[in-house]
């Protein structure tokens, strides 16, 4: 493996990249339930930046006990507002969210606070049946800071987001599925396998089309309906300048699998 993929707090597995177009990033701070300190976020963003040119589909996961139990409370305890403002976490979150290709969160165990926010910042969540979600910041005298009042509310609606963010109660994978927060619940031993299968399916599609769809879906969170529809239409028109659109439609008519080049 290339040396720039050697990190302290994450494992980056690129062995499936050339065959199936999938990279797996595993959060690896098991002693603190994968608490997300700034260094870990920096490593995730560096890993994404290192693979971006290869148009990969990314699976982001943790271990059986925790996807991530939130931002690192030890790191935050003594912080002043100025430390928070000057910290580059905000920039790192923005960079994470602007990764152009799909990121699938494969979530087992605790997925709390910043961990939940990180999973929601992915394109979709596949949850193991042992997953526990929540925004417990209220239990430690603070508030969510990376989407726990925003993405969460837009995804599950005001009543559920208010209930969970204001009580700090956790909810399980099946409740999360019912609320539309997770795409699928699977036996926890198979979560990463299922996420990789889903990633492999995506990796067979046109990377540019995937990118445009991701952009469109994210726009549904950020813009008015009319603005979003305009962007969607422009992206649709744009595909007609792509070899991949010609190839996809040609292959359909010739009853053969398409061979996309990403052009």
Interacting residues with ligand DAK (CB under 6 A): 32-33, 35, 69-74, 89-90, 93, 110, 112-114, 117, 136-137, 139-140, 145-146
For residue 225, what are its two tokens? 């309906």
Catalytic residue among 71, 105, 106, 176: 71
- Smallest separation (angstroms) from ligand DAK to the CB of 238: 32
Between helix 207-222 and helix 225-239 the angle, nearest 10°, is 170
- Identify the CA nearest to 7 among candidates 25, 21, 22, 20: 25
For residue 124, what are its two tokens? 């979709």
Residue 8 annotated as catalytic: no
Residue 114 annotated as catalytic: yes
Q: How many residues would you count in the chain?
A: 263
Alpha-carbon span 184 to 194, nearest angstrom:
9
Catalytic residue among 47, 69, 117, 134: 117
Using the minimum distance from each CB to ligand DAK, give the nearer residue, 110 or 260: 110
Residue 53 annotated as catalytic: no
Using the minimum distance from each CB to ligand DAK, give the nearer residue, 35 or 185: 35
Strand partners of residue 68? 111
Strand partners of residue 172? 132
Residue 117 annotated as catalytic: yes
Q: Yes or no: say if 248 and 258 are a contact pair by the CB < 8 Å rule.
A: yes
Q: Yes or no: say if 58 and 96 are a contact pair by the CB < 8 Å rule.
A: no
Using the minimum distance from each CB to ligand DAK, give the nearer residue, 56 or 113: 113
Catalytic residue among 21, 35, 113, 137: 137
- Smallest separation (angstroms) from ligand DAK to the CB of 246: 42
E strand or H helix at 106? strand 103-107
Pairing of strands 184-186, 124-128: parallel
Using the minimum distance from each CB to ligand DAK, give the nearer residue, 22 or 118: 118
Using the minimum distance from each CB to ligand DAK, give the nearer residue, 145 or 262: 145
First-to-last CA distance in the chain? 27
- Smallest separation (angstroms) from ligand DAK to the CB of 140: 5
- Smallest separation (angstroms) from ligand DAK to the CB of 127: 16
For residue 198, what are its two tokens? 């889903």
- Smallest separation (angstroms) from ligand DAK to the CB of 110: 4
- CA-based R_g, the chain, Å: 19
Q: Among all residues, which ones are annotated catalytic?
A: 71, 114, 117, 137
């Amino acid at each position: 493996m290339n040396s720039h993929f050697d990190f302290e707090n994450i494992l980056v597995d690129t062995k499936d990249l050339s065959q199936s177009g999938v990279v797996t990033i595993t959060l690896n701070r098991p002693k603190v339930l994968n608490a997300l300190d700034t260094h870990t976020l920096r490593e995730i963003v560096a890993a994404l930046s290192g693979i971006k040119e290869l148009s990969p589909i990314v699976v982001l996961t943790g271990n059986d006990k925790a996807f991530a139990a939130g931002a690192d409370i030890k790191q935050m305890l003594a912080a002043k507002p100025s430390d928070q403002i000057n910290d580059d976490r905000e920039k790192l979150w923005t960079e994470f969210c602007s990764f152009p290709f799909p990121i699938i969160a494969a979530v087992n165990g605790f997925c709390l606070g910043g961990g939940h926010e990180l999973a929601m910042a992915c394109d979709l969540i596949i949850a193991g049946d042992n997953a526990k979600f929540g925004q417990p910041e209220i239990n430690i005298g603070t508030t969510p800071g990376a989407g726990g009042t925003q993405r969460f509310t837009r995804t599950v609606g005001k009543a559920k987001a208010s209930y969970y963010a204001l009580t700090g109660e956790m909810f399980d994978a099946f409740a999360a599925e019912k609320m539309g927060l997770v795409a699928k619940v699977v036996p926890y031993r198979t979560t990463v396998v299922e996420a990789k299968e889903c990633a492999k399916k995506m990796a067979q599609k046109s990377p540019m089309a995937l990118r445009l769809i991701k952009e469109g879906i994210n726009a549904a969170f950020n813009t008015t309906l009319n603005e979003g529809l305009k962007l969607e239409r422009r992206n649709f028109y744009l595909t007609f300048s792509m070899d991949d659109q010609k190839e996809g439609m040609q292959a359909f008519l010739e009853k053969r699998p398409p061979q996309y080049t990403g052009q």
